Homo-oligomer: A and B are copies of this chain.
Amino acid sequence: MHCYVFGMALEHAILVALAERAGSGYELARRFDKSIGFFYGASHQQIYRTLKRMDGDGWISCETVPQQGRPDKKVYSVGADGRVELRRWLAEPSSPTVLRDELSLKIRGASHGDLSVLLEDVRNHRTEHQLRLQLYRQLEAREFPDPGTLSGMALHQYLVQRGGIVLEEGLIAWYDEILTALHNDVKGLTA
């Protein structure tokens, strides 16, 4: 009767982010809106709370930085214990990918509701993911103009970016398939 203890991974996401570059809670929240956050979302409240706990555990340390014209900020950086924990966590088998997609559930239950409203929903999701894909491709072109030459950290960041692109492309192809199939289906029913 074995049992893996997964979870509490936001701490590790923050550890990775702070190991790349020290930063404040606010700034981490911005970073989690982009890059890292696309694979691991987190709200600012969650981030502040977790930073406090990690500071208490001695994984990170905090320095208050006064600024002119702006509120003070607390800049956190990874300490020795945090680096040990990061290493430990990296060596651990990672938990399976979790996908939670309400839209696919609605597609599955589509016959119990209004199909045209649902199609509008699919179109909206498609638009959103199309925008995100464009953003990813822009970032890719700007930050990694010559992928063949990358190594180390830059290569790792590039590979994660690639994952985002591949997934978004897949989603969009899927939305198109849904729209085509259900559009034909609606026409077939009303004709």
Contacts and interface: CB of A to CB of B under 8 A. Distances in A.
What is the copy number of this chain in the assembly?
A: 2
Nearest to A152: B111
Given A36-B105, A109-B19, A113-B86, A94 B125 contact: yes
A99 B99 contact: yes
Chain A's interface size range is 35 or more
A97 B99 contact: yes
B96 A99 contact: no
A167 interface: yes
Contacts of A135: none
| Chain A, interface SS category | helix
A91 B114 contact: yes
Contacts of A181: 155, 159
Interface in A144-167: 151-153, 155-157, 159-160, 162-163, 166-167
A170 interface: yes
A18 to B, nearest CB: 10
A75 interface: no
B111 A94 contact: no
Interface string A73-102: 000000000010011011101111111111
B166 A178 contact: no
A99 B159 contact: no
A103 B107 contact: no
A100 B98 contact: yes
- 7 closest Cβ contacts across the A-B interface? A90-B113, A170-B170, A16-B109, A94-B102, A98-B100, A39-B104, A94-B103
